[in-house]
Amino acid sequence: MKAVLDRIKQGEILVCDGAMGSLLMDRAKEHLKGTCPESINLSHPEIIREIAALYIQAGADIIETNTFGGSPLKLASYSLDDKTEEINRAAILAVKNASSKNIYICASIGPSGKLLKPFGDTEPKEIYESFYRQIKVLVDAGADIISIETMTDLNEASLAVEATRNISSSIPVIVSMTYESTSRGFFTMMGTRIEVASKRLEDSGVDVIGSNCGNGIENLVLIAQEHRKHTQLPLMIQANAGIPELREGVTVYPESPEFMAEKCNGLISIGVSIIGGCCGTTPAHIRAIRNVVDQRGKKLLKT
């Protein structure tokens, strides 16, 4: 299979999968009591496989692993840090076994849940080592891409990039930040502007810059636009299906597959290279995005 970055360079738009959490809740609610989603990789890998297969059928080129909270620092909250290796290895295997189709396995790396000194009490070394241990397993087990996502602290994201680069100098690395919309523009929780994030991430040696979570598709089109002004690196965007609402006791994400897919035209016009979904998106959303990408994207192919 062609390297993912080569396809992006040639102008192809790739589709990434959608949410893991909500599908997991539907299928594994009783197994999730008192434990973390990542433990399902070990206890019920068939469920993870099934979810990956659904997204592959929907047309995703890239499938993220169920390892968002799989760093030992995060797993320690569930006393599962000694299972870091097994849990992360099983996550890669589940995606590998999901389909015979060629897809890219994208290892999801979420925040450590700790705040770095001087704001919090955690030393950079502790966070670096936690990322290193997780990413080492994922790379060795066969991840094609490392996606460091839902980040709000650039320093923390940089530690994960550094850990990845010390493990492999060639594996593609994506960093996706999460921004809040304020009256003064978009900022991360730590107060970082898109311009600053773009520059710092470029300097840290990532291959793709992205944004995920925290916003529906419309804000993410604006975020992508702002990123485009400040970097020439490929972009990745994964929006939530809107901000959840509660309707008659059930959590509902308001943005339909059709609505999101239609707005993805905006992302394509900006030149976003990888489009996927975050919280609340389903295989139906990814299928709708796939269709829009196929219609619009083919015209953009430079070959």
Q: Under the rule (CB under 8 A), what is the footprint of another protein?
A: 21-22, 25, 32-33, 36, 74, 77, 113, 115, 118-120, 182-184, 187-191, 214, 243-246, 249, 251, 253, 279-280
74 Cα distance to chain centroid: 17
**Cβ proximity to another protein, 74 vs 290, nearer residue:** 74
| d(C-alpha 197, C-alpha 222), whole Å | 15
Distances from the Cα of 290 to the Cα of 4, 5, 218, 264, 293, angstroms: 17, 19, 18, 10, 5
Shortest reach from residue 71's CB to another protein, in Å = 13
Q: Which residues of 7-26 are buried (b: 16+ CB within 10 A; e: fewer)?
A: bbeeebbbbbbbbbebbbee
Closest CA to 88 of 40, 56, 50: 40
Q: Give me the least distance between CB of 244 and another protein, in Å please.
A: 5
Question: Can you read off the two tokens belonging to residue 244?
Answer: 């959840």
**Which secondary structure element, helix H or strand E, spans residue 46, and what is its range?**
helix 45-58
Closer residue to another protein (CB): 23 or 171: 23
Q: How far is the CB of 189 from another protein (least distance, A)?
A: 5
Judged by beta carbon, residue 118 or residue 170, the one nearer another protein is: 118
Instruction: Look up residue 205 and give its two tokens.
Output: 């040696």
Q: For residues 88 and 67, is the Cβ–Cβ distance under 8 A?
A: yes
Q: Which is nearer to another protein, 6 or 118 (CB)?
A: 118
Residue 215: CB minimum distance to another protein, A: 11
Toward another protein, which CB reaches closer, 242 or 297?
A: 242
Whose Cβ is closer to another protein: residue 25's or residue 301's?
Answer: 25
46 is written with which tokens?
């068939």
CB of 111 to another protein, least distance (A): 9
- CA separation for the pair 8, 123 (Å, rounded): 36
Smallest separation (angstroms) from another protein to the CB of 82: 18
